[in-house]
Amino acid sequence: MKNVCVIGAGTMGNGIAHVFAQNGYSVSLVDVSQDQLNKAMSTITKNLDRQVSKNAITAQTKESALKNIVTHTSLATAVKSSDLVVEAATENLNLKLDIFRQIDENATANCILASNTSSISITKIASVTSAPERVIGMHFMNPVPVMKLVEIINGYATKKEVTDNIINLSRQLGKIPCVVNDYPGFIANRILMPMINEAIYSLYEGVAGVEEIDTVMKLGMAHPMGPLQLADFIGLDVCLSILNVLHEGFGNPKYAPCPLLVNMVTAKRLGIKTGEGFYDYAQGSKDLIVSEAFKK
């Protein structure tokens, strides 16, 4: 594999493009928004600069990584010469089905089709393509350049050669792959999201404040971030989409999203990406300042 196409240049897409480019792959980064592509390139440059300043990579690696990335707004053009497509667009079923129909029409027969979805069924995504055996989940964690895990999800029809290929590729990127089967939320989010939802319910019911909830989980459970801070980091819209998939997929009310989460998403308080969630990021994300809405 040499040519990789990454679709979606948001939080995850820019990290995925960064990691492939740093490891010598030619990357075509696609988004519907040119503005988002420009933002992604400046984020990648900033993150590579940070790696250089920490002596994690050389200035030369940074330069060649940046040269390895070409941006596109046309999916059809970008996908054509790719050996692997990693889709990292917005977490929405119909959007992803539409993207996979387009990839299927434009990619070569040997191209592997991967999705970075957090929760949407790989089997369902594969069902709109002409060759479901080449479709797989390649679930990177946020922030991609830092986090070691790649959760690999086998769809119902995924061929063993495809899984083996993605396992080897993940290792080449310096990641640790872990293979799971295709059920709602897979493993990572089936376990993480109910915890985040429970933290939001605890806040909603007045059991404790934002700081107290996060402090209990950080100091008591040795979590590097509290669940509310993590939700802001992931994006509250992404958390809500995943909970809806778990709720519908299992038909179990224990996954129903907390009404406070639904309200915050409706009000566009999505966490770091909109500047406010449980915390206020007007001054950046280094110092944790509880959002005005949750100050006692």
Ligand X SMILES: NC(=O)c1ccc[n+]([C@@H]2O[C@H](COP(=O)([O-])OP(=O)(O)OC[C@H]3O[C@@H](n4cnc5c(N)ncnc54)[C@H](O)[C@@H]3O)[C@@H](O)[C@H]2O)c1
Q: Is the Cβ of residue 179 or residue 208 nearer to ligand X in the bound state?
A: 179
Q: Is the Cβ of residue 98 or residue 161 nearer to ligand X in the bound state?
A: 98
Q: How many angstroms separate the Cα of 282 from the Cα of each of 54, 143, 199, 230, 287?
A: 26, 20, 23, 17, 10
Please tell me whether residue 95 binds ligand X under the rule CB under 6 A. Answer: yes
Q: What SS3 class is residue 23?
A: coil
The answer to whether 26 is a known catalytic residue is no
Position 151, amino acid: E
Residue 95 CB, shortest distance to ligand X, in Å, is 6
Q: Is the Cβ of residue 32 or residue 52 nearer to ligand X in the bound state?
A: 32
Please tell me whether residue 152 binds ligand X under the rule CB under 6 A. Answer: no
Catalytic residue among 87, 151, 211, 276: 151
- Among 164, 116, 124, which Cα is nearest to 144's? 116
The answer to whether 205 is a known catalytic residue is no
Residues from 62 through 91 that contact ligand X (CB under 6 A): 88-91
Partnered with residue 112 across adjacent β-strands are 84
Please tell me whether residue 137 binds ligand X under the rule CB under 6 A. Answer: no
The answer to whether 121 is a known catalytic residue is no
Element (H, E) at 177: strand 176-181
Tell me how many residues contact ligand X (CB under 6 A): 26
- Among 244, 241, 239, which Cα is nearest to 255's? 244
The answer to whether 63 is a known catalytic residue is no
Catalytic residue among 3, 118, 170, 202: 118
Q: Which residue of the chain is nearest ligand X when measured via CB? A: 10
Please tell me whether residue 235 binds ligand X under the rule CB under 6 A. Answer: yes
Please tell me whether residue 30 binds ligand X under the rule CB under 6 A. Answer: yes
Return phi, psi of residue 220, to 5°: -85, -30
Position 262, amino acid: V
Instruction: Report cis status (omega within 30 of 0) of the bond before 143.
Output: yes
Q: What SS3 class is residue 53?
A: helix
Residues of this chain that interact with ligand X (CB under 6 A) are 7-13, 30-33, 36, 88-91, 95, 99, 116-118, 139, 142, 234-235, 238
Active site residue ranges: 118, 139, 151, 189
